[in-house]
């Protein structure tokens, strides 16, 4: 095989597919990036058997062929090459010469035959989102996905298509994050659970440009993301997702309208007094025109008042600062509404149209003041 392409093109491609190279594996071939120039196109491919990425790069194919190169060494090499044309040439014994300017590297590659290509997917249901929308919806929900592999379903996010609405849900045992996105077209109903890891990697690869689209196709076992010159295929998580709708309610006895930035900064300050691993809750006391936030720990105490508009009853409720911070950070609105029932019931941060719903479970408080 012999191909020639610019360093920047190659680097961009290598950076994309590297996201699917496993950090630890017993199969040495999976630690490689496959360069497939066996047809008229140059493709770079990596696959950790859960997540596979293929991207096409511009370049000249001088001699057709295939070679697999150690991903870590190859990608660091490309990164450090001078900004010129790169030639990659391999012979029948997989000896590979990478030359660029006056620099010449020799590496031993592996045959492509052992490599796991991306599975062929029969695409039935496909939706279209802008790269911006996909990147945003991942950012706005992914933090609440559970890490614990004991409950595999929690480590994924629900992608549910209902007509022209895409609903994305992430949850762990303490909170639920929901985003409803209106799409340009209506599609057949479909529900899948996408691994959190896949979504994390996708959001690093896509540009976030509102003018560029991603085509997302789902089958019973796979989800496929197609954008620019890249295809990402991921296995889905098997099983039924939690019945989230049953956990939601629009009833409330207290509604608080508050400035998001003020609340976020105040809660952020309170975390100073919470030692790591300590589950000390912050206390929110809703009064007529203000809410007082306070915390009392072994380190010290803090209290701060923020002006609010209130509807309904006074309430004193405790919560884990981190869960509030995570949710507030991804809400773009300046003013938000918090809905509460009682100190034991979940509280909801949501807008009127339910484009976002953040459910946070309260923490029981024992105050001595």
Nearer to a copy of itself, 94 or 242 (CB): 94
Nearer to a copy of itself, 61 or 107 (CB): 107
Find all residues with CB under 8 Å of 102, minimum gap 6, and list them: none
> Which residues in this chain contact a copy of itself in the complex, by CB under 8 A?
73, 76-77, 80-82, 101-108, 265-266, 268-269, 272-273, 299-306
Query: Among residues 105 and 187, whose Cβ is nearest to a copy of itself?
Result: 105
- Residue 176 sits at φ, ψ, to 5 deg, of -135, 135
Burial 231-246 (b: 16+ CB within 10 A, else e): bbbbbbbeeebbebee
User: Which is nearer to a copy of itself, 23 or 106 (by Cβ)?
Assistant: 106
Minimum CB distance to a copy of itself, residue 95 (Å): 9
Please say which residue, 213 or 285, places its beta carbon nearer to a copy of itself.
285
What minimum distance in Å lies between the beta carbon of 267 and a copy of itself? 10
Contacts of 214 (CB under 8 A, 6+ apart): 128, 129, 130, 131, 134, 206, 225, 226, 227
Q: Could you tell me the smallest distance in angstroms from the CB atom of residue 105 to a copy of itself?
A: 5
Return the number of other C-beta atoms located less than 10 Å from residue 204's C-beta.
Answer: 12
**CB neighbourhood size of 270 (10 A):** 24
Residues whose CB falls within 8 Å of the CB of residue 61, separated by 6 or more in sequence, listed in order: 2, 3, 37, 40, 42
CB of 297 to a copy of itself, least distance (A): 10
Q: How far is the CB of 99 from a copy of itself (least distance, A)?
A: 10
Listing DSSP states for 7-75 in one string gives HHHHHHHHHHHHTTS-SS-S-GGGGEEEEEESSSSEEEEEE-SSEEEEEEE--EEEE-EEEEEEHHHHH
Least distance between a copy of itself and beta carbon 170 (Å): 27
Which of residues 269 and 322 has its CB atom nearest to a copy of itself in the complex? 269
């Amino acid at each position: 095989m012999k191909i020639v392409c610019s360093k920047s093109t190659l680097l961009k491609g290598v950076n994309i597919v590297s996201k699917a190279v496993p950090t630890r594996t017993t199969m040495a071939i999976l630690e490689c990036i496959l360069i497939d120039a066996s047809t008229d196109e140059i493709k770079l491919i990596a696959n950790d058997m859960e997540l596979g990425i293929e991207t096409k790069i511009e370049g000249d194919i001088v001699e057709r062929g295939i070679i697999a190169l150690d991903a870590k060494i190859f990608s660091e090499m490309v990164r450090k090459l001078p900004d010129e044309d790169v030639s990659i040439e391999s012979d029948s014994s997989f000896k590979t010469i990478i030359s660029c300017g006056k620099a010449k590297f020799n590496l031993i590659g592996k045959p492509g035959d052992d490599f796991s290509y991306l599975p062929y997917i029969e695409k039935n249901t496909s939706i279209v989102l802008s790269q911006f929308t996909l990147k945003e919806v991942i950012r706005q929900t992914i933090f609440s996905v559970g890490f614990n592999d004991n409950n595999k379903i929690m480590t994924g996010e629900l992608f549910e298509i209902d007509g022209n609405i895409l609903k994305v849900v992430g949850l762990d045992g303490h909170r639920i994050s929901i985003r409803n996105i209106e799409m340009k077209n209506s599609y057949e109903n479909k529900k899948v659970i996408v691994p959190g890891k896949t979504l994390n990697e996708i959001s690093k690869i896509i540009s976030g440009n509102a003018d560029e689209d991603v085509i997302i196709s789902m089958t019973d076992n796979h989800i496929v993301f197609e954008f620019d010159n890249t295809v990402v295929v991921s296995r889905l998580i098997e099983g039924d997702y939690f019945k989230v709708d049953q956990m939601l309610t629009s009833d409330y006895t207290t509604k608080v309208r508050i400035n998001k930035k003020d609340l976020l900064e105040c809660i952020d300050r309170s975390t100073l007094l919470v030692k790591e691993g300590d589950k000390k809750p912050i206390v929110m006391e809703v009064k007529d025109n203000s809410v007082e936030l306070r915390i009392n720990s072994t380190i010290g105490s803090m209290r701060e008042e923020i002006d609010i508009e209130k509807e309904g009853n006074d309430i004193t409720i405790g919560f884990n600062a981190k869960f509030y911070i995570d949710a507030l950070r991804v809400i773009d609105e300046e003013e938000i509404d918090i809905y509460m029932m009682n100190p034991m019931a979940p509280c909801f941060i949501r807008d009127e149209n339910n484009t976002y719903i953040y459910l946070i479970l309260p923490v029981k408080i024992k105050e001595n003041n």
